[in-house]
Amino acid sequence: MAQVATTAGWPDRLGTAGARLGVIRRRYRVAPGLYAVGSPGPDSPVLVTANYKLSFDSLRFSVSGIDAWLLVADTRGINVWCAAGKGTFSAGEVSDLVRRSRLAEVVSHRRLVLPQLAAPGVTAREVTRDCGFSVRFGPVRATDLPAWLERDGQGDEAMREVTFTLAERAVLIPVELYLLARPLLGLVVLALCLSGLGPGVFSPAAAVQRGVLLLGATGLGILAGAVLVPLLLPWLPARQFWLKGVYTGLAVAALARPLVATGVSGVEQAALTLWAVAVSSYLAMNFTGSTPFTSLSGVEREMRRGLPVQLLAVGAAAVLWVVAPFLV
């Protein structure tokens, strides 16, 4: 098995930056299998994690100075919590991994330590039945593992509490912005085409002038839904994220209205507002899968309620934007 370091090198730092920005997130993974930290022996603990490299790095950096085995499951490059929800971090995968790595020949005990956030996908008794190893769920954060291990698996309330602090919310913003880059290219073309329509069939000058306004409204929607909603999440009204996006989009649009009021008709202002709110609401809804506030059923329920409203707003905005030049 491979020996791994417990300190970050430049490749790790660059890879982390790329993953945080969303550039290499989907392929940032390590090979599943058994790894050694320090000089582990037959009695050393076995810590199980996902093969998403940020999860793997978080674990190995947190256990510096501890002799341990790291058992890395094949979660298709998905982090622990999401993989547990998707079924790729499961009792079957853990049991198969124990057998494939021939762990029973490496350690003298029969105990596995799994992240607490893997619990939704891993049934402990199934692992014990399938491979003979018992399961203990450790703390939520890997940084608490040294203290948890020192206390023989006795954690305090803070170790079991899932947080979603300002810093934890802010780190998600670059990924959301990066993922918007490709759709925005198509949106630019669509905005220019729709904005140029008018009594003279198509006006290149109007396409540019009105297209800039439409893209500006898009930017306001992105600011509201992808930046302000996660930053202000605990203080925004409503429980459902799509509604938080609606309120934030309306507020941002209202604040920006004086900047575009001159030379813009009321119909166009209504279209721009509806579009900005729809964008904000949709992007805010994306965060439902990134928080400890919602369950899988809660996400599905919110999408059933939010998507029809968003589609209606987009349709109304498009109609108003296209007909506005004919009403002058």
56 plus 199 within the same structural domain = no
* Nearest Cα residue to 49 out of 28, 25, 27, 32: 32
- Give residue 145's pLDDT: 94
How far apart CA 203 and CA 127 sit, in angstroms, is 67
CA 118 vs CA 20, 89, 168: distances in Å:
22, 7, 19
* 12 and 158 housed in the same domain: yes
Q: Are residues 38 and 7 in the same domain?
A: yes
pLDDT greater than 90 at residue 297: no
Tell me the one-letter amino acid at 294: T
- Phi, psi for 288 (deg, rounded to 5): -60, -30
Counted domains in the chain: 2
Q: Check whether residue 71 and residue 110 sit in a common domain.
A: yes
Q: Containing domain of residue 8, as a range? A: 2-162
How far apart CA 309 and CA 117 sit, in angstroms, is 33
Instruction: Read off the pLDDT of residues 142-184 as tens digits, 9 standing for 90 and up.
Output: 999 999 999 988 888 888 888 888 998 898 898 888 888 878 8
Q: Distance between CA atoms of 134 and 119, rounded to whole angstroms?
A: 14
Give the end of a domain, one of 132, 162, 192.
162
Residue count of the chain: 328
Which CATH number is 117's domain given? 3.40.50.11600
Q: Express the helix, strand and coil content of the chain in percent, nearest 5 each.
A: 60, 10, 30
Q: Are residues 256 and 297 in the same domain?
A: yes
Q: Is the pLDDT of residue 296 over 70?
A: no
Q: What is the pTM of this model?
A: 0.79
Is there a single domain that holds both residue 172 and residue 152? no
> Please, is 224 exposed, middle or buried when counting C-beta atoms within 10 Å of its C-beta (0-12, 13-18, 19+)?
buried
260-294 confidence digits (pLDDT tens): 767 789 999 999 999 999 999 999 998 876 666 66
Q: Do residues 216 and 319 both lie within one domain?
A: yes
Q: 261-282 b/e with 16+ CB inside 10 Å = b?
A: eeebeebbbebbbbbbbbbbbb
Among residues 162, 193, 221, the one where a domain terminates is 162
Q: Which of 111, 120, 154, 115 is nearest to 138 (CA)?
A: 115
